[in-house]
Structure 1
Amino acid sequence: MNGTALAVAPDPGCDSLLPGHDFVDAYQVRADVPGLEARQAADAILKHPPGWIKQLMAARNRVVRLFQLKTVEMAMDDPRSPQGKVGGFPIVAQSPREVVLGFNDKHLDFRISVTVLAAGGAATLVTVCTLVKTNNLLGRAYLTTILPFHRIIVRHLLEHASFS
């Protein structure tokens, strides 16, 4: 298990990932793995969530379908994500240091940035930054509703990721 996921100031470079965003947060954990690349970190964080997170996402998907919004599965089928997906989220951009995930929908647009930074010795700092841009009242209501869950889920995924 990793250390505690701490809330950190988002990297100023995150702003360019989603101009005009209404929400941004970032959490960071120290992984005792030297040379960890961003794609490896993103896979470790997002590919195998625990059952309770899968159940929350399934409930979320049932609700958003009622409003004709995209589910993660719908975004996965989008042919405009030629770089692939991580944990069901389309890859927007990737490099050894950062993987950017996300998609745009009529209610909101979001990006998830997973970055890695050598922390000296045999450790890597892994940061997850989330940005959301709401597009209408439904998007603002959705964001308000999911924020408490978002914070718990991101911290849990970071703290329990199997980095190796």
Structure 2
Amino acid sequence: MPVAPNLSNFSEFLPGARFADRFAVVVSGQRLDVMTATGRAFADRPAWIGRLMALRNLLVRPFGLKTAVADLPSQQRRIGMFPLLSQTASRIVLGLDDRHLDFRLVVELKELGEGLQEVSATTLVAPHNWFGRAYLAVIMPFHRIIVPAMLARVAGPQG
């Protein structure tokens, strides 16, 4: 179940955000850094998520929304399909600004002690117009399935 974080705690990442949620997973017996954790979660997506994204892209293309890596600046570093905006030792901020909304995905790594680490993904969204608010409402049920599924890959077996 997602947690609704305090938006003021994340205002530095996306001023004007009107939506936020946070999912977390505890990792045991591994020594991850934030880049490895983010890569495991978001660099490659399972086929079923790829199919959902392809459908999303087909449906929103007529509205002029960004639907492909080709729509992003070529010099910008990405993790999976998400542009990398900033990085510290314990936090990576991914995100994109578009006509209908801006979003940020804040991945944080926290040491819990005794060989445990928490990896969390906080999503922030700032809709710009009615279309952005409608888009957010439509994708939210999928978001609540996709983000935890991708985050769970951090703690899963690596091969």
How high is the sequence identity, in percent, across the aligned residues? 38
TM-score normalized with structure 2 length: 0.89
Q: Please tell me whether residue 141 in structure 1 is matched to residue 134 in structure 2.
A: yes
Distance in 1 separating the partners of 2:29 and 2:122? 20
Q: Please tell me whether residue 59 in structure 1 is matched to residue 55 in structure 2.
A: yes
SS at match of 1:119: strand
Let me know the Cα RMSD of the aligned residues.
1.9
Residue identity opposite 1:61 in structure 2: N
Identify which range, 121-130 or 35-44, moves more after superposition.
35-44
- The question of whether the paired residues in 2 share the 8 Å contact of 1:44 and 1:163 is answered with no
**Partner of residue 152 from structure 1, selected from 133, 137, 145:** 145
Deviating beyond 4 angstroms after TM superposition, the runs of 4 or more aligned structure 1 residues are none
Match of 2:15 in 1: 19
Structure 1's unaligned 5+ residue stretches are: 1-5
Distance verdict in 2 for CA 1:72–1:41, change over 3 Å: farther
Q: Once the 2 structures are TM-superposed, how far is the Cα of residue 72 of structure 1 from its aligned partner? A: 4.2
Q: Once the 2 structures are TM-superposed, how far is the Cα of residue 45 of structure 1 from its aligned partner? A: 0.2
Match of 2:2 in 1: 7
Deviations 1:97-153 (A, max 9, x none): 001001111100000000000010111100000000000111111000000000110
SS at match of 2:23: strand
Structure 2's unaligned 5+ residue stretches are: none
Distance in 1 separating the partners of 2:146 and 2:61? 21
- The question of whether the paired residues in 1 share the 8 Å contact of 2:2 and 2:144 is answered with no
TM-score normalized with structure 1 length: 0.87
